[in-house]
Chain A
């Protein structure tokens, strides 16, 4: 199972990295930003009628918050899997009653 998981993650990694090699010179802009640009082309007169309550003051702070989001999630997942593994191991170590 572990080997299979490593293979699956390896394939996922290749799919993620391949575009960097194949698509030279691309800016890799966000698709959400491209959609916003397409709106401006389709409806040049449209003005957004609301602005975010708070905007990260720059790309550095934004990337900090995105990493924080991923780190928080990864932390919870790691805690969960560690807890499950520990419980499983304790159970396996304990000699079974009645054996």
Chain B
């Protein structure tokens, strides 16, 4: 048997730390009161700081503007603050093991900036590896709800500030000078007399400091040097040189390529199969039956893919074989309750919207590497809920979670998809069966036809108005049941939000109307189908708030008001008006446009942030194109302006795609689309030539941003399309 596979692992695991020789921990591993590492720390002199008071988990349920989903993650992370690991190595690296996934949203860069600023290190000296799955972190290791920077902001600054204080104290002792006379910058402590010492040279001594001799409070924002500065991704060079490693690029020796023959319809099951012909094909190593299909393992992916088509399988029916979009539409329509009757002497605006299924379609298909041995398993997967993936693997192969090591590798996009981890479980099952390490890959067809989707949804909206005021507003949403059983959904369950459904709780904690429309009624009814759904960037808001922003334009029309003026009048907060005003001014709202071209605007507030989007669309051909976009964001504290703008731009492309182009048809239990040829996600020719993102506000704590801009972008695109074409779009995507 080969030795354990080499992986980046700058820190010993908790188990190693507690059991390993004392001499292994000569550096400062700054762990605040982690139970296991406490043992190692007390016996080696590794610093343990006093535990912080725990925050309480907020009591459910309250409206979104009092408590939102991110608050749940903030509370969960705060509870786990004492388990976060920040290490200063003797070679002067500051290492923060980030308990989150990096799937392109840029949080490794943002958190590296926070650490660098707070500990006074050069950004280039900070490493942010992704933490292995740790059951002690639980859902505090989940990545979702645009909550990562928001939830790690206080804990990370706190532990970095404590570490800095101890490094300063160690230097003061070494030089026998007052600690208060020392300064820190560029990963170095400096004395007034010119002496200096790198953090790496102080880390062993710092590990022995009992009480810091300088304050351990995070610095005031007036002293930030890195936070708030536009910074290119810290992994950008590895990406542009091709060095960045995704799951299938990780060098696990002798891991065998594996693909899976999957059923013709969703969740179909293997009845019988004949692998005789496939087994005779070149390079084929093994054929393994799985709950989801038949796995083919070979020496190369080419051989595995060829042998896949030689496996003869008879399939039992899937779970939705007789179901097509029209069947779902009938049930969704029936699931919408009657709207409240309109009072006398009022007028109303009614609208019904439909949104298609949408695959997440991350560029990197579902992938995982697994090496399952007797009594142990090692997994490499881009997971946004690593503890859930670890438990699922342990259950599948009959091991305890402690026996499963799960490495979180960078992901090639997610958009919600990597909250789920089917590839990891499949890879583990195959590895266990054939007693070899395997690297398992879903094909693009697999991802499109058996991956997860944003649920198809219907929306009935009604606004009642009289005398220029909106008197009441009602939004009834029905959708195919959203599987929220992983990541943020699990965090909600842990916090007690299970009544009446997780989806309803999620909906209530994510939806709020930003306008003064009188009494607001918003509700969700979910229709159950046994099919794979998942949160898709912005979750319910991607459809619900988009629908509302379209209705706002239609109310404006009913009131004879300009869409921007209408929003300005009814927005609840000055902050929201400022964001709207920014796009209206920067985007030259109301400028004269030629026929079949128009501007459109929309706004969205969630995650303690606000976004507005103004687009210009050209509908002069049968292929509408958004030609220009101006966006404005108030996300509170801006950690990395470049990363914030990147998230806004990406969300804009999601808005363009889901409103104009990209969706999935369900035909008799199978998705019609199979690749990017028929799943028409935007390409360069669909993207605007100009996209300006303005950041306004900027004080306080960071809000969430990863999902923030999707509803604003989608709403603006739909509203521009409506104004350019003189139509009222009701079904999305429009060109489906």
A, B in one complex: no
Chain B residues with a Cβ under 8 A of chain A? none
| Interface residues, chain A, with chain B CB atoms under 8 Å away | none
